[in-house]
Structure 1
Amino acid sequence: MTIDRRTLLAASLAAVPASAAAASVTPATTIALWPGEAPGLINRSLTEIVLERSKNPAVRDRALTNIRRPRLDVFRPARPNGAAMLVIPGGGYQRVVIDKEGYEIGPWLAERGITAFVLFYRLPGEGWRDPANTPLADAQRAMRLIRARASEYAIDPTRVGAMGFSAGGHLCADLAVRHMRRVYTPVDAADTLDARPMLAAPIYPVVSMDAAIAHAGSRDALIGASPADSFVTEHSPDLQVTRATPPMFLSHAADDKTVPVANSIALHAALRDAGVPVEMHLFERGGHGFGWGRRTAGLSAHLWPELFLAWARTHASVR
């Protein structure tokens, strides 16, 4: 079915934790990333589709495909503390997850005073020029738009971070290491602003494009099944770390059978070698795709969001 914006936003309330709903934190605002059509559109028949993947009617697990109009859905706290997070859901670069890595973590952050901007980004295989850099173009543009509209949302533009999950974790890390890479032509004054997140939190992230440890589905969707060595290097965040890379928080479960934990370990090593502040939590159990924590109830991995907040406070991004 084609997406209906009001239906999608209203239905998202079913995924909001009870405490967040009580605080009236809802994704009531949407910001289009680009004026008019997004740059580089080739497939003009692209029409958005929402897929419901959950077999449990009490738990929503939707994903969005055929994304033609990338955007930010905003979760606004009742009492903003000035901090903001760009939230980047995963989906193997073949879809963008809506609920467990977007509409659930958004209210969780907003409950704690952090304005959350959930990014629905374009996918490389859906008809765009320069497909491997199309998701990064949306992430860079999103960071700049958040800063451009900081006063509207009571945000300190120096306190904007990024968080991503799985393939969204790759995009989060890619933004952190290639925030200065020009991947689109500026369209307005917002594009004069910095795209560098003040900190980044890739959660169970796809990182390496090395076939030995890469998540094959994400790799093939982003750079193809037989990429040149230069493409592998360019799109592996662990090989692009510099001293300009922002501090990072990494979280991964050792029993992840989808994205090998070696991805986070490689990124951690690269950050350490470059002298970039980094904290990593490797949990014994949790599997892949546990989102904001509800799916790991009873496990230590359930604690990762609170661990992230404690770490972020040491870097003055949340208070």
Structure 2
Amino acid sequence: MCSKTILLLTVFVFSLRGSLIANDHHKEITLWPAGEVPDEPKDIKERKKPTKTDASGKMRIAYVDNPTLTVYRASEEKANGTGVIICPGGGYNILAWTHEGTEIAEWFNSIGVSAFILKYRVPRRDPETPHSLPLQDAQRAIRIVRSNAKKWNVDPDRIGLLGFSAGGHLTVMSGVHYNKKTYPKVDTADDFSARPDFLMPIYPAYLGNRVNKDKLSELINVNKNTPPTFIAITHDDSDRSYYSALLYAALKKNNVVGELHIYSKGGHGYGMRKSNNPVHTWPDRCRDWLGSMGYLEKKQK
């Protein structure tokens, strides 16, 4: 065999190996066994809509009836043992998959954090409680990550949630309703706790009370066991900054570690993309907070 052929084969083998590693690190897994997605309405498939991608590369997933987790494992060299489940936003009607999902996962990997993008059920099944079935998916996702902690090189006591807009609401709901049994046990993964170790709602929506506009939603019952929370939002994001401030006040009242950043400008739905507005620095503050909490230190083996 000539040296040129050997060289080509070597390049092919290493390329294949790299591809396999990448596939393993970005593997998409289903949350529920086939046919066991709980509480799905029978007519849901009639509401199926296509996924769309706009000119800026933003993908919007408009229909999910088989929820999944896409695994983005941090490299062995950088991995610090912390894992974050990412909940994209979209009003519980779509999932902003790219700028509130994959781009965020890649950023977490760059700081040694393994990420898991949650593809929860959309569009809304129940207009009155649009979070109810996504909360089942979020609880199941937390338990699956915790049950696979050793396999995915994460510490089962360092698993948090980060979400945007509706995904930020889902993040908060996961942090205050982790003891609520939202679905019957499926398998041994459900023996694990559904409590997130920390929360990071970014421009969270739907936190307000629909009757008394000066209060948090009656569903958001912060207590001393609520996980530590980092919040980022802008002053010009409708009334959402007001309710984020109330959320922080509730954390403070219950002696829960919290950090709130309200930036002057930026609006809503910006993800992590750079802009001329002050809010584009929120990822730096998020990294600082994770570091201050000890979540960026290498896990002791």
Asked if TM exceeds 0.5, the reply is yes
SS, match of residue 169 in structure 2: helix
Mapped to 2, the partners of 1:92 and 1:210 lie a distance apart of 17
**Which of the residues 279, 286, 295 maps onto 2:266?**
286
- How far is the alpha carbon of 1:36 from its aligned partner? 1.2
What's the counterpart of residue 262 of structure 1? 242
SS, match of residue 85 in structure 1: strand
Mapped to 2, the partners of 1:31 and 1:273 lie a distance apart of 39
Cα deviation code 1:63-119 (max 9, x no counterpart): 112211001111122222211001001000111111110011011111221110000
Mapped to 2, the partners of 1:281 and 1:207 lie a distance apart of 18
Are the counterparts in 1 of residues 208 and 243 from structure 2 also a CA contact under 8 Å? Answer: no
SS, match of residue 187 in structure 1: coil
Mapped to 2, the partners of 1:60 and 1:43 lie a distance apart of 33
**Are positions 1:51 and 2:51 aligned together?**
yes
Mapped to 2, the partners of 1:76 and 1:174 lie a distance apart of 25
Mapped to 2, the partners of 1:111 and 1:206 lie a distance apart of 28
Within-5 A mapping of 1:233-252: 233-234=218-219, 237=220, 240-252=221-233
Cα deviation code 1:156-190 (max 9, x no counterpart): 11111110100100000000111111111111111
Q: 1:213 to 1:27 in 2, by over 3 A?
A: farther
Are the counterparts in 2 of residues 207 and 267 from structure 1 also a CA contact under 8 Å? Answer: no
Partner amino acid for 1:74? V
SS, match of residue 116 in structure 1: strand
Within-5 A mapping of 1:1-319: 28-37=26-35, 38-43=37-42, 46=45, 49-52=49-52, 54=54, 56=55, 59-79=56-76, 80-123=79-122, 125-126=124-125, 132-211=131-210, 233-234=218-219, 237=220, 240-257=221-238, 260-292=240-272, 294-296=273-275, 298-319=276-297
Deviates most, 309-318 or 150-159: 309-318
Partner amino acid for 2:193? D
Mapped to 2, the partners of 1:256 and 1:26 lie a distance apart of 38
Mapped to 1, the partners of 2:271 and 2:85 lie a distance apart of 15
Mapped to 1, the partners of 2:99 and 2:124 lie a distance apart of 23
Q: CA RMSD in A?
A: 2.6
Mapped to 1, the partners of 2:67 and 2:184 lie a distance apart of 16
Are the counterparts in 1 of residues 62 and 123 from structure 2 also a CA contact under 8 Å? Answer: no
SS, match of residue 28 in structure 2: strand
Q: 1:101 to 1:50 in 2, by over 3 A?
A: farther
Are the counterparts in 1 of residues 64 and 123 from structure 2 also a CA contact under 8 Å? Answer: no
The structure number with the bigger radius of gyration is 2
How many pairs does the alignment contain? Answer: 271
Partner amino acid for 1:273? K
Q: 1:178 to 1:241 in 2, by over 3 A?
A: same
Mapped to 2, the partners of 1:50 and 1:109 lie a distance apart of 29
Deviates most, 171-180 or 39-48: 39-48
SS, match of residue 252 in structure 1: strand
Q: 1:27 to 1:302 in 2, by over 3 A?
A: farther
Are the counterparts in 2 of residues 25 and 78 from structure 1 also a CA contact under 8 Å? Answer: no
- How far is the alpha carbon of 1:27 from its aligned partner? 6.5
Partner amino acid for 2:140? R
Q: TM-score, normalised by structure 2?
A: 0.83
Identity %, equivalent residues: 33
Are the counterparts in 1 of residues 131 and 170 from structure 2 also a CA contact under 8 Å? Answer: no
Unpaired runs of at least 5, structure 1: 1-22, 215-231
Q: 1:305 to 1:24 in 2, by over 3 A?
A: farther
Cα deviation code 1:235-257 (max 9, x no counterpart): xx2xx101110100000011114
Mapped to 2, the partners of 1:149 and 1:243 lie a distance apart of 28
Structure 1 segments of 4 or more deviating over 6 A?
23-27
- How far is the alpha carbon of 1:261 from its aligned partner? 1.1
